[in-house]
Amino acid sequence: MSGLARFGTRLLHLLPPEAAHSASLAALKSGLVPVPPGVTDPILRTSIAGLDLPNPVGLAAGYDKNGEVIDPLLKLGFGFVECGAVTPRPQAGNPKPRVFRLSDDRAVINRMGFNNAGLTALRSRLSARLGRKDIVGVNLGANKDSDDRTQDYVTSLQALNGLADFFTVNISSPNTPGLRALQSKAALDELLGRVMTARAAAPVFLKVAPDLKDEDLADIAASVRDNGIDALIVSNTTIERPETLASHDRAEAGGLSGRPLFERSTALLKAFAQTLNGAVPLIGVGGVEDAVTAYAKIRAGASAVQLYSALVYEGPGLIAQINRGLAERLKADGFTSVDHAVGADV
């Protein structure tokens, strides 16, 4: 990371977490964030669900909820960017404070509650960048007070058809009461069936929670296969609190992300890889903070990875660092592409 980027990251840590997030968005909009040298090694090129990626490192949903800085983020070196979560109607989210840095643990707890400007605002921004070739997806959520949450996903998907390269059905946020109940077999089959009927050409992904029991895993895998879902994102934040957490705010309610999630989410990723046996591609999320953790996700079965929390601590130079390190590790292990390394440890 350049000295300027490192200084900017330290400066943001002087602000409360949500204010720092807003400041970072403003910095990206204004062009104040240094753009690191690109990593264009062809060994990093890969594909997932028919989407060609320049590299397998993506931005997870939650940072650019309203699609405000998609292009500045892509310039930082991400192979793909996922904006959202979006809900049909604008939503304020949960009361503040609702984001907490666990600096000693390199982690974050959030209970944002799908705060976003709504479908109309995101549709307008995505329409304005039509025709660009970069891979951009949209994470779909449901309004907290919705009478039909399944319809919320269908409504957003239909409104944004043709404007995004993929859509993610997010039923795994712990911050909307009752949302995770949609992961049960009957509810999930109904949801995915209606969503897949409403979709046009873009792939549809499903994002699951890390707090699944063995029977949940089997049911979700079956539902994903039966409904023709194009990829599975493993995983969202956890409501569990490892005993190793040392930071002051470790008991705050919400979803825990970052380093403490790595082992749990990677074990679940590997379990899905074994259960699905290549039938559905996987995207690994949770605790990706360097080339070592990104490579471990790939070897555990992920065709691509996503990160967010690590940016809080490492800043915008992280993506290039990870991609350089991934290329080195792939070559050192004798792989000629990312695809050849996927599931090497499964």
Residues annotated as part of the active site: 173
- For tokens 């996503």, the residue is 306
Read off φ and ψ for residue 65, nearest 5 degrees.
-60, -35
Q: What is the β-pairing status of strands 255-258 and 204-208?
A: unpaired
- Beta strand extents in the chain (DSSP E only): 46-48, 51-53, 57-59, 80-86, 99-102, 107-110, 136-140, 166-170, 204-208, 231-234, 255-258, 282-285, 302-307
> Are 276 and 343 within 8 A, CB to CB?
no
Which DSSP category does 230 fall into? S
Check residue 37 and report its DSSP letter: P
Q: What are the CA-CA distances from residue 211 to residues 91, 144, 160 (Å)?
A: 26, 21, 30
Task: Give 138's contacts (C-beta < 8 A, 6+ positions apart).
Answer: 67, 82, 83, 84, 86, 122, 126, 156, 160, 163, 164, 166, 167, 168
Contact (Cβ atoms closer than 8 angstroms) between residue 108 and residue 99 = yes
Distance CA 9, CA 262 (A): 23
Comparing CA positions, the residue from 47, 43, 42, 77 lying closest to residue 59 is: 77
Reported as half-sphere exposure (CB side, CA atoms, 13 A), residue 37 has a value of: 3
CA–CA distance, 330 with 336 (Å, rounded to integer): 7
Whether the CB-CB separation of 171 and 191 falls below 8 Å is answered with yes
Distance from CA of residue 275 to its chain's centroid? 22
